[in-house]
Structure 1
């Protein structure tokens, strides 16, 4: 064993802690050592030839998988350490300190990537839960409607879309001009109080945009248990630059989940209601007042 290796063993144990680099008790040869990498990582079996550091050490394999115990981490650490040794070794120079520092850099980069991928998976799962978790679940509408009609001078002037039925679910939208949030609320109350079929819908999603006096404006929406549906309706109205109108989309769930497809259908019937009301053209452009 070279004096350079003896000095290196002493230095490594001094820097990273006792027993970081120790002779393997399971091997009779004097040149096989166990290197325990810092942190919750694997320990590796290394072989130092008599000519080391004039010739490189050999990374024989893993000794243990480390305290994390996760499947695949030992093989990962082994591969990264071999890469580190190959990168830092120079003939005639001891390399363990540089190799350990290098593998820690590589491990930090790998763990950062794993955390990023895990975060993406969690966000995707949360998004999927939003898209599918509440589908077909009728919300609790206690207090949302009453059999007593709100006081209106005339029934709301609803304009209806063509209904769409897909996989046993039916969607229909209706829109009406409104001049205040209170009027929008009263129109919705009137609809629920007078139309049993609408009241029995699985979801009645609403959105409205109203311009008030002195540059004020009002925007609101309600999912009615269909997560994010109201916000999507409001976003549709914003993109179409529609004001002083409300829209209600009713869905009767047929027992077959549609997943994200249902949001396309919700927006489709809402847009059709706006077209039927003459608020936009078939191309989706807002009609200009006074145009021919």
Structure 2
């Protein structure tokens, strides 16, 4: 894969993980994407942080062999941190932006919140067993279990699988012989989500999918008293569950409803590796499935809205 293809696939994955509606902004319109190119060839990176921070970058033609360059001088603590994080997370030959974004956002959050105090408006987040393997580096686990998977089932068979609970099931998406199907359902507790996942494993056709990537997010209570319970599972597709869970968080899934959503994306590997682009497909299938089911409203979901 050429460096340009690496960047194209990375941009696609980033846009799926961080939809424009989840990005904070100081203007009346959200940015077109988390990372987009200007007419003069520079790039703007809009960090999903509060307060909003935008970095001006150049990305050399040799990327990811060589790192992106931040054009903003380190005149503030936030910009100094950004320059430091690029040096820390960059590994020649590996794409960088997911690790850069997540590491920098966490550093900025830590520096803006003193350890001895916390805002009363902050929600308490409880992670049941969150997937911490969020590296964007492709560890070449794609299709690892493909030899154990049966031939891709027909669309009709896919839609008939797991009739209960009342899943909303997306139409199959086929990309280079791999088939992706999303399904989502409303849940009230972590135990209920785990029981529904057990139903997936009990279904012979779905159990034999190459991967069943899942994530759930449950909001108990509202406002300042809201508690969030969340978890995710790669099912062998390295880092896919973590990315899916991160997307649910950024979209603010279930926050307005005071309940929870479980989403599963099943993939039948077709023999052709998709590289980082597969993460974008997985998240897009999941997002569209929740939108079709009415379990997420892009006009209301997403907790990082512009502050007036």
Q: TM-score, normalised by structure 1?
A: 0.48
Identify the structure with bigger relative contact order (alpha carbons < 8 Å, sequence gap 6+).
Answer: 2
Q: Which has the higher helix share?
A: 1
Q: TM-score, normalised by structure 2?
A: 0.46
